[in-house]
Amino acid sequence: MSLIGINNLIKEYKTGNETVLAVNNVSLSIDQNEFVTLLGQSGSGKSTLLTMLGGLAKPTSGKIVVDNIDVYELPSKSIADYRHEYIGFVFQSFQLIPYLTVEENISLPLSISDLTNQEQKQLVKLILEKVHLEKKAKRLINELSGGEQQRVAIARALINEPMIILADEPTGNLDSKTSEDIMKIFCELNNVGKTVVLVTHNTAFKKYSHRSIELSDGRLVNL
């Protein structure tokens, strides 16, 4: 069953007088509980596609429909709500808030929810156990290793129970052993029902996904 529908998606950027076509007429469909890797060279448009999917960059034309919601037809408040409810982002360089502790970073998405502090603490505790960071809950981010920081980022992406995990080069800053560990976490998440879209240039990660899609110059190369 299709969860994400992308139809004739185009994204142009203007750089000075030049117009760059970052995503060029891409159409694809991703099923619920599917694990998809988006492969491609640097500048191929895969990250741009991911940001559009995450409701952060409005396409120049085309449609993105998620769970029967036409994302870019929503008003701006509702697009923020869409990101909050449907999407969990994981970035290459973790993107954690340095002045917050591990547990505060993880509970960041809950700060705009109606949950009480007690309920939030309960959820954070459970997720910390899942990513094996319960002993580092009170640490600041700069006190953690790269792998631990990425696990915090994954925990933050999951705390809201989103349907879709969008990961942009999540292992780009990690060694191969830690990268394998992180990829295993994504597989586990997929096994418990999450739809995972993972952007990478590492073709070795194809093995973890159900399907690989390659982009080149903004176009789909191989479905």
Partner 1 sequence: MKLYNISLQSLRRRKAKTIFLIIGLILSVASVVMLLTVSKNVNASIAANLDEFGANIIITPKTDDISINYAGMSINSVSYNNKELHTNDVEKIRTIKNKDNISIVAPKLLSVEIVNNKNVLITGIRFNDEMKLKKWWNVNGKIPSEVNEVLIGSEVKKKLGIKLNRQLKIRDKDFIVSGILDATGSSEDGMIFMDINESQILLDKKDKVSLIEVAALCYDCPIEEIVRQTSSVLPGANVTPIKQTIESKMTAMHRFEHFSFGISAVILIISMLIVFTNVNASVTERTKEIGIFLAIGFRRSHIMQIILLEVITASLLAGLIGYVIGSLASRFIVPVLTMDESIRIVYDYSLPLLSVGFSLAIGFVASIYPAVRATRLDPISAFRSL
Interacting residues with partner 1 (CB under 8 A): 51, 54, 56-57, 76-77, 80-85, 87, 89, 91, 93, 95-100, 104, 107-112, 117, 120, 140, 156, 160
CB of 39 vs partner 1, minimal distance in Å: 21
Nearer Cβ to partner 1, position 90 or 182?
Answer: 90
What is the rounded CA–CA span in Å between residue 196 and residue 168? 11
Q: Which is nearer to partner 1, 9 or 208 (CB)?
A: 9
Q: Which is nearer to partner 1, 51 or 190 (CB)?
A: 51
Q: 35: buried, middle or exposed (CB in 10 Å: 19+, 13-18, 0-12)?
A: buried
81-86 long-range CB contacts below 8 Å, 24 or more apart? 82/55, 83/54, 83/55, 83/56, 84/109, 84/112, 84/160, 85/160, 85/162, 86/162, 86/163, 86/164
CB of 192 to partner 1, least distance (A): 20
Closer by beta carbon to partner 1, 142 or else 222: 142
Least distance CB 222 / partner 1 (angstroms): 27
